């Protein structure tokens, strides 16, 4: 069954713990977007916030690093409670090393790709990662429109994963809503990240229930 990750960037951050408690029983994990103002044109939150949040929820936390020099911070994000770490393909010269560092420290390693990055660049790393995070908007902000081409990317990625006989997770991040969620699951998405779809949507409980009925085709 598809898993849902609540992206807290879209919540009322002044009430972070309450916001997470409000959605906790309906989602499978929390998605924690770290932005440094260099890799993306926005600054979000980082280590001290993760440390504080870790005490407030038992849900797994997936940390999405949108930062330059991710190698300088991986250990500390895992120390402060990250269960999964997504590193952008575009953010490092040494992805293989970083992926294995994440795994050695006991977390699950994801490689994240921007909308312009083709999946064939993943051929030499796909067997090393636990999942691929496909950005379906340009990273930096919640509440953006889903880039339609991402669907084909997900379909092709699923094909790649199946052909290799892997169980790699396919996480889709950006602009996921009631209009595209079902088609994403049908085409192979195994984790849907949702910011606005959960925190700015009064019907999110119903939406999540209906998404969970969908199956891969």
Contacts with Zn ion by CB under 5 A lie at 33, 64, 173
What CA–CA distance (Å, rounded) separates 51 from 73?
14
Residues designated catalytic: 33, 173
Extract the runs of DSSP E, i.e. beta strands, from the chain: 3-7, 29-35, 61-66, 84-88, 108-113, 131-135, 169-173, 191-194
> Residue 214 gets which letter from DSSP?
-
Residue 188 found at the interface with ligand DX5 (CB under 6 A): no
* Alpha-carbon separation of residue 209 from 5, 18, 130, 176, 214 (angstroms): 13, 22, 26, 15, 9
CA–CA distance, 19 with 37 (Å, rounded to integer)? 25
Paired tokens of 175:
């602009």
Q: Answer yes or no: are the C-beta atoms of 59 and 53 closer than 8 Å.
A: no
Question: Whose Cβ is closer to ligand DX5: residue 26's or residue 100's?
Answer: 26
Which one of 45-53, 91-99, 161-169, 188-196 is the stretch in contact with ligand DX5 (CB under 6 A)? 188-196
DSSP 24: G
Specify the residue, 4 or 74, whose C-beta has the smaller distance to ligand DX5: 4
String of contacts with ligand DX5 for each residue 49-68, x by CB under 6 A: ---------------x----
Does 96 show up as a binding residue in the annotation?
Answer: no
Residues 166-185 contacting ligand DX5, CB under 6 A? 173-176
| 144 near ligand DX5 (CB under 6 A) | yes
Positions that interact with ligand DX5 (CB under 6 A)? 7, 9-10, 31, 33, 64, 137, 139-144, 173-176, 193-197
**Per the annotation, where are the binding residues?**
7, 31, 33, 64, 140-143, 173-175
**Per the annotation, where are the binding residues for a divalent metal cation?**
31, 33, 64, 173
């Amino acid at each position: 069954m598809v898993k849902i990750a609540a992206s807290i960037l879209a919540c009322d951050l002044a009430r972070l713990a309450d916001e997470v408690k409000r959605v906790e029983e309906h989602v499978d994990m929390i998605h924690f977007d770290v932005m440094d103002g260099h890799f993306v044109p926005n600054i979000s939150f980082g280590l001290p916030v993760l440390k504080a949040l870790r005490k407030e929820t038992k849900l797994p936390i997936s940390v999405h690093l949108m930062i330059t020099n991710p190698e300088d911070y991986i250990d500390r994000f895992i120390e402060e409670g990250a269960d999964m770490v997504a590193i952008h393909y575009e953010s490092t010269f040494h992805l293989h090393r970083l992926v294995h560092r994440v795994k050695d420290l006991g977390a699950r390693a994801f490689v994240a790709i921007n909308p312009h990055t083709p999946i064939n660049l993943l051929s030499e790393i796909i067997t090393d990662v636990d999942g691929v995070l496909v950005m379906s908007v340009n990273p930096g902000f919640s509440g953006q429109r889903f880039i339609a081409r991402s669907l084909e990317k997900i379909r092709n990625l699923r094909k790649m994963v199946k052909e290799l006989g892997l169980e790699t997770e396919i996480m889709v991040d950006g602009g996921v809503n009631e209009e595209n969620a079902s088609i994403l699951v049908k085409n192979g998405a195994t984790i849907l990240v949702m910011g606005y779809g959960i925190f700015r949507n009064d019907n999110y409980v119903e939406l999540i229930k209906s998404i969970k009925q969908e199956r891969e085709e």
